[in-house]
Structure 1
């Protein structure tokens, strides 16, 4: 009998199938042609059927395709079926499924995709030939605006990426929008080294990974290992490169960005007027500060100064035009401040610094001794004679618990009388407290308003907004939220703060990577805030969730499949209306942007509608419980899929402080 007519009995994962030799082998060069020709050893069960340890349900679909050249994909997981087709080598079906799968994915992203900034083509690396840099080429230190538009930027509104040619802004357009330059350009300065390294080396790939992203107004700073590139957004030109920092020999660990400074900066007798943006970079204990002015050609860059904090900088930020560097290294905690108008740098010990927040011109500092201190930046110039930052104690925790998170909310009343302030803070022992400065208690410290002891692990995040109090503890980012009742904009004691939700924003990120993968909450305090959930370190998927109840707003996936290395949410003012953008830096060196404004507004309106319906029906205890917004984090199926690429054995355990008998008694 011919092989074509021979019956083949198969045992697929315990399910018996019978078919013909011809059906299994009409597609050439497959698993079955190799199996039946003897090139693959066979294993047979007790009945003599060939045993193959695969999914019988998916195999049944593949066998029907081999029989009929047709397939019914109703209620079929296309990705799983495609995986099986690849295993068996059924190329005709695999190609069809690939097209079906690609119908839902695009390198242009979905409707939320806002822009793409490609990685540097020939990014600079630190000088490795010596301090004088004599062996490092300084060619091509500047580039034309056309080079920038054609090769360096891409957004929804302009330019092109590395894959497809799009619309390129003309040179006249760029001259009207600002002065663009290539990423390898020194912007008219010669103090940076431009050593290049072949892109195929591992060192190159690690150096060109996006490490940190910061945004302010319509500016974005993208930090790589040794340099920072700055982009600006305009309605006509979209995103384009404006400046680049000098290449640093040491690894950049922190950056700070301040746009629209509008003042003047002077360093060593050089006056820089019309400054568009200021950029601070921290490496170890050293802080470097530059001012960039885009009102000249080429872009003018002025080094304001290099400052030494004395200990490693752990936080770098601007409070207004002042640059602040903080370190929380135990008893050696320090604060360094550089003031724009006086051009003066000061450092001072701030013992046991653990956390901070800003409110207007105030910088609030939480400490391990339970004290909340503050520095008033507006009074900074008046204290030049005694060289004292005047770190003043505002409040002391009643149990002297170490303060690990702090959030300040300035109510509308603050702008009227200036002495109403609300502060929420969390402690190492899991307590969450709210303190309030009343107008009638001016001259006295804030009063303790309310205490929550629901967390059993250290509180890592706390946020007090107009409508919600949100806290996060270290047990896999467990979140508790409360609804805040207000009267004339101020916290009301009747009926008081009520529990809202409890959920987890699971993140299996290494502790060293968390500063640049902060889950949030993000957003202004008078609007709905959000969490960004990145479950595993190497993933192209992020989950956007409401901070108030954990419901999912949307799911973000990289348009090119590259893993997300860092992210931040920023209010962008460069568009026709303010947009809330999610900016993702990738291991490929690219930066991808997603417009979350619409989904967040829709989710917030849905919650308001549900809350109104619940209130009108008299059921006040189930607010948001019947919201049609999908549940928050990854489903079990999504989570398992994410964890397949994650080595759980190498994942650090959550930090949990055991409940010891010495824990302070709560009031």
Structure 2
């Protein structure tokens, strides 16, 4: 076929095309040049046309480009078209489409992007002496063995020298903390260089440097890798900067807890005359290590408070005030609780009824059990019984059907701080029930009283949240969410007009069971404000969906600025100079952490829609029994987004489906695991 004018007949996916040899071959080194030169074997149909098993609609766009060297991209799926261009090797068009995609996805992020914390340059190796023998850690060398690494490791949200206050010159201390001459672009450049240097180490380095866990408290975040933890602090003048690093651990870190106590002179403007004391706890297996970091002045002083043994694997690690609490809900009916008390410097463990849920309220730790009881520990009282080795675990309430309690949420009404006995508790059970119990002044002396029961779930309830305005529950069936609007009178939950259904939707998340604790969908947020879900659909993805917990409405979509997959995330409530900020902090497989400011978008999404014009027709009245809102269809990923995400997920490797709810429920049901496993994925019949 040497004649440029020779006609070539093609059958692309069942659609016939006729074009010239020259049209198909003017771009060199493509699929067509190889096909027409005989380097690729051809298959012909009954008419003799060359058969190509591709999408004819997309092929028609490519063929039109080869004919006219121009293309109309209106109503075209750019991702699919670019994939076809890559297949056929049409490099000029593929480059144009790639540029269009890059323009829409800047490495500087969008308006939500708040900061980038690059991975550490020097990777501590377990068993070495790096960071293990020194009790003094300086801000300038807390994550590096030389001064050179300091500049690249400390990072400012904006420029390195933040001069937003007119006429104000940063001090030398601020310059050293911010890292002179550093910017996010430089950090990304270092990361690219390191990729080439570490490629030979392959998966081992990637697993060690992947961010495993992120915890936040006040204006502090702790970023945990496999064997060490780095602590960052936020100030308005310098943004985020490194303050401390934990010693390198021989065993992989499984849980961490962070507690930051702000001093009276430590403000968000960066003036830390009194400083901020930080406590960091980590656990590996049954062992818990606790450090205190004194950040009043240079150098930062690190003190190992102690290494404690719970006796069983630690499944939850948290602070209740300044007290460190370790919990285990092991099988066989054996659970343990361990508490380190600040004032007495005493570690105490005790066997407790099998734990299946927990929550905190002030100085109280509430424990839900597989026997259907809610117990509590008062952290301020149990030191009085240290001689008896008793944590004073006290039963508060027992479920009327003795259903195992799998989720619990405590709401302290505004009067609680004055009289201490106005408390409301919502809890979910293994058999799908959601109950609300209350203890108001008129019920003091009789214990909490059952207020409401909802039986809308057919799978175990995994999450429940009771806030000022809403009651939200989540079950294990693809994270199916139900929400109700709560009516209050003088701060207390009321029956007039009562709790009304708000919405039903699904927060689909196909996360591996071992990673669920660090990829918790939520809900996140204080109980007196709008709460949100963070939806991570598949394990290895760079995209998160932020949704309102009350109705499932999508607030925004978060995409990694460097394309790396999200390995963990948390929502941090940070104090600012003007107003609090709600930040989404994402840990990535590249070892970096990325921050996104959700404050304005949440406020905008939660704002009620504008009132319709006075001459507009009245809206249709809801039928009897219908809630305020139907299931929200624009909240989670669209059908196209969901298919694209699921293409990278192995659905055959998902956990098994949960056991159906028995009917009737036995009097003494079997104990569930501490965290019910999600069902086997199938095509959801609710909006994702």
Normalised by the length of structure 1, the TM-score is 0.88
Asked if 1 retains the 8 angstrom alpha-carbon contact of 2:120 and 2:143, the reply is no
Q: Does structure 1 retain, via aligned residues, the 8 Å contact 2:503–2:630?
A: no
Q: Secondary structure at the match of 2:27?
A: coil
Give the Cα separation in 1 of the matches to 2:401 and 2:543.
42
Structure 2 vs 1, CA of residues 602 and 423 (structure 1 numbering), >3 Å: closer, same or farther? same
Alignment gaps of 5+ in structure 1: 134-139, 161-168, 180-195, 264-272
Distance 1:285 1:661 in 2: 38
Q: CA deviation at 1:79?
A: 1.3
Q: Is the 8 A contact 2:142 2:243 kept in 1?
A: no
- Alignment of structure 1 residues 125-204 onto 2, 5 Å: 125-127=125-127, 143=144, 147=148, 150-159=151-160, 171-174=172-175, 200-204=201-205
Task: Find the residue that maps to 1:99 and give its secondary structure.
Answer: helix
2:221 is equivalent to residue 220 of structure 1: yes
CA deviations on 1:101-156 (whole Å, 9 max, x unpaired) are 11110111111111111112221121179xx99xxxxxx88859964652113343
Question: What is the SS of the residue equivalent to 1:526?
Answer: coil
Query: Any conservation in 2 of the 1:157–1:236 contact (CA below 8 Å)?
Result: no
Q: Are the counterparts in 1 of residues 82 and 98 from structure 2 also a CA contact under 8 Å?
A: yes
Residues in 1 aligned to 2:457 and 2:610: alpha-carbon distance in whole angstroms: 28
Q: Does the 8 Å CA contact 2:502/2:629 hold for their aligned counterparts?
A: no
Q: Residue 204 of structure 1 aligns to a residue in which SS?
A: helix
Q: Which residue of 2 aligns with 1:314?
A: 315
Is 1:501–2:503 an aligned residue pair?
Answer: yes
Residue 289 (1) aligns with residue 302 (2): no
Q: Are the counterparts in 1 of residues 211 and 589 from structure 2 also a CA contact under 8 Å?
A: yes
Contact 1:261/1:278 (<8 A) preserved? no
Q: How far does residue 440 in structure 1 lie from its aligned partner after superposition?
A: 1.7
Aligned residues: 624
**Structure 2 partner of 1:63:** 63
Q: Which whole-Å CA distance do the structure 2 matches of 1:358 and 1:613 have between them?
A: 50
Equivalent position of 1:19 in the other structure: 19
- Residue 558 of structure 1, CA deviation: 0.8
Q: Would you say 1:358 and 2:346 are equivalent positions?
A: no
Deviates more, 1:98-107 or 1:650-659: 650-659
Q: Give the distance between the partners of 2:610 and 2:448, measured in 1 at CA.
A: 32
Moved more, 291-300 or 321-330: 291-300
2:686 corresponding residue in structure 1: none
Q: Is the 8 A contact 1:553 1:630 kept in 2?
A: no
Superposition deviation, residue 377 in structure 1: 1.2
* Equivalent residue, structure 1, for 2:648: 645
- CA gap 1:482/1:145 in 2 versus in 1, 3 angstroms: farther
> Quick one: distance in 1 between partners of 2:391 and 2:3?
91
CA separation of 1:170 and 1:110: change in aligned 2, threshold 3 A: farther
Please list, as runs of the form range in 1=range in 2, the aligned pairs for 1:623-642 lying within 5 A after superposition: 625=629, 631-642=634-645
CA contact (8 A) 2:503 2:628 kept: no
Q: 2:121–2:149: 8 Å Cα contact kept in structure 1?
A: no
- Of 629-638 and 475-484, deviating more is 629-638
DSSP-derived class of the 2:4 partner: helix
| Structure 2 equivalent of residue 302 of structure 1 | 303
For 2:586, which of 577, 584, 587 is the aligned residue?
A: 584
Counterpart secondary structure, 2:67: helix
Change in Cα spacing, 1:500 to 1:279, as seen in structure 2 (3 Å) is same
- Structural mapping, 1:565-644, within 5 Å: 565-574=567-576, 576-606=578-608, 619=621, 625=629, 631-644=634-647
The 8 Å contact of residues 292 and 301 in structure 1, kept in 2 or not, is answered as yes
Distance 1:199 1:483, change over 3 A: farther
Shift of 1:651: 1.5
Q: Could you say if the C-alpha distance between residues 124 and 521 of structure 1 is closer, same or farther in structure 2, counting changes exceeding 3 Å?
A: same
Superposition deviation, residue 577 in structure 1: 2.1
Cross-structure match for 2:550: 548
CA distance in 2, matches of 1:281, 1:81: 48
8 Å contact from structure 1 (residues 476, 654) kept in 2: no
Q: 1:185-264 counterparts in 2 under 5 A?
A: 200-260=201-261
CA contact (8 A) 1:567 1:585 kept: yes
Would the alpha carbon gap of residues 10 and 312 (structure 1) be closer, same or farther in structure 2, given more than 3 Å must change?
same
Distance in 2, matches of 1:262 and 1:173, equals 19
Q: CA 1:624–1:63 in structure 2 vs 1: closer, same or farther (change >3 Å)?
A: farther
Separation in structure 2 between the aligned mates of residue 33 and residue 197 of structure 1, nearest angstrom? 39
Answer yes or no: is 1:452 the counterpart of 2:454: yes
Partner in structure 2 of residue 415 of structure 1: 417
Q: Which residue of 2 aligns with 1:325?
A: 326
Choose 293-302 or 68-77, whichever is displaced more.
Answer: 293-302
Asked if structure 2 preserves the Cα contact closer than 8 Å seen for 1:256 and 1:281, the reply is yes
C-alpha change, 1:420 and 1:512, in structure 2 (3 Å) is same
What does residue 402 of structure 1 align with?
A: 404
User: Compared with structure 1, are the counterparts of its residues 620 and 147 closer, same or farther at alpha carbon in structure 2 (3 Å cutoff)?
Assistant: farther
Listed one character per residue, the Cα deviations across residues 233-281 of structure 1 (whole Å, up to 9, x for unaligned) are: 1111111111000000001000000011659xxxxxxxxx965211000
Aligned partners of 1:654 and 1:585: how far apart in 2? 29
CA-CA distance at 1:199 after TM superposition: 6.6
Give the distance between the partners of 1:337 and 1:247, measured in 2 at CA.
Answer: 24
- 1:399 and 1:147 map into 2 onto residues whose CA distance is 64
Match of residue 78 from structure 1: 78
- The alpha carbon displacement at 1:647 in A equals 1.1
* Contact persistence 1:222–1:229 (CA under 8 A): yes
Query: 2: CA distance between counterparts of 1:215 and 1:324?
Result: 17
C-alpha deviation, 1:498, in angstroms: 1.1
Q: What is the CA-CA distance between 1:438 and the residue it aligns to?
A: 1.6
Which 10-residue stretch deviates more, 148-157 or 645-654?
148-157
Contact kept, 8 Å, 2:154 with 2:177, in 1: the verdict is: no
Task: Sort the Cα spacing of 1:325 and 1:607 in 2 relative to 1 into closer, same or farther, 3 A.
Answer: farther
Query: Whole-Å Cα distance in 2 between the matches of residues 386 and 95 of structure 1?
Result: 74
Secondary structure of 1:82's counterpart equals helix
Verify the 8 A CA contact 1:6 1:20 in the aligned structure 2: yes
Output aligned runs, 1:454-533, within 5 Å: 454-533=456-535
3-state SS of paired residue (1:354): strand
Name the SS for the 1:649 alignment partner. helix
* 1-structure distance, mates of 2:353, 2:256: 24
2:381 alignment partner, one of 372, 379, 382: 379
Q: Determine the C-alpha separation between the residues in 2 that align with 1:256 and 1:157.
A: 28
Which residue of 2 is the match for residue 95 of structure 1? 95
1:153-175 deviations in whole A, cap 9, x for unaligned? 33432449xxxxxxxx9854245
196-205 or 436-445: bigger deviation = 196-205
Secondary structure of 2:381 counterpart: helix
Alpha-carbon distance in structure 1 between the residues aligned to 2:43 and 2:490: 77
Change (3 A) 1:552 1:128: same
Q: Distance in 2 between the 1:655 and 1:514 partners?
A: 16
Give the Å deviation of 1:574.
4.5
Q: Which structure 2 residue ranges, 5 or more long, are not aligned?
A: 134-140, 162-169, 181-196, 265-273, 670-688
Native 8 Å contact 1:233 1:574 kept in 2: no
SS in 2 for 1:276: strand
Residue 271 of structure 2 is matched in structure 1 by: none
